[in-house]
Amino acid sequence: MERRFGSTRLVLVQGDITRQAVDAVVNAANGSLLGGGGVDGAIHRAGGPAILQECRELVKRIGRLPPGQAVVTTAGRLPARHVIHTVGPVWRGGDRGEPALLASAYRESLARAEEAGCRTVAVPSISTGAYGYPVDLAAEVALGAVAGRLAAGSPLEEVRFVLFSTGDLAAYETALDLLEVAGGR
């Protein structure tokens, strides 16, 4: 599924984010930036030790990365140039600022990609694994934040949501359809 916001293509695909030949992949990291499970672990395993080394140096300089923020490292052995690490919120019922933090994680990731001169970015469904954010709610927040930023003008040519499962892809397709109806598209 593909739509255009401003001059940028927003694409939804099912696949493995570690195999995306793009300028940057977004990592759904934890605050330590030292790897973990899910997308985070897969990116660190596929990218190799160069990513972890750069993350360790970042943590020495800035400390733990708070939810909603993003930083850039090398992509190591990934078929991308950069990894943009962002921390999404842990789901605690939705009334503790989770939607705002999740939206910020996506917007900050795109901002870091633009600053790094990227044209193509692959992003996962942030916070919907171990952090427990319901995928249907996360999809609405994610697509709303990304579409809003792109519609305002961006040098990015493509933002590709890479969803691991068919269920996640279906949730994002539904959210994109709802976003277009709400936006009058």
pLDDT, mean of residues 85-96: 97
**In this structure, what CATH number is given to the domain that contains residue 66?**
3.40.220.10
Q: What is the pLDDT of residue 50?
A: 97
48 vs 69: CA distance, rounded Å: 23
pLDDT, mean of residues 35-58: 95
| Active-site hit among 16, 40, 95, 168 | 40
35 vs 103: CA distance, rounded Å: 22
**pLDDT above 90 (res 184):** no
**pLDDT above 60 (res 39):** yes
Domain of residue 174: give its range.
2-182
> Residues near 20 by Cβ (< 8 Å), separated by ≥ 6?
79, 80, 122, 160, 162
Q: What is the pLDDT of residue 180?
A: 73
Instruction: Say how many domains are in the chain.
Output: 1
**Average pLDDT along the chain:** 95
50 vs 171: CA distance, rounded Å: 34
Please confirm, yes or no, whether 168 is among the known catalytic residues: no
Q: What is the pLDDT of residue 36?
A: 87
Q: What is the pLDDT of residue 112?
A: 98
Q: What is the pLDDT of residue 182?
A: 63
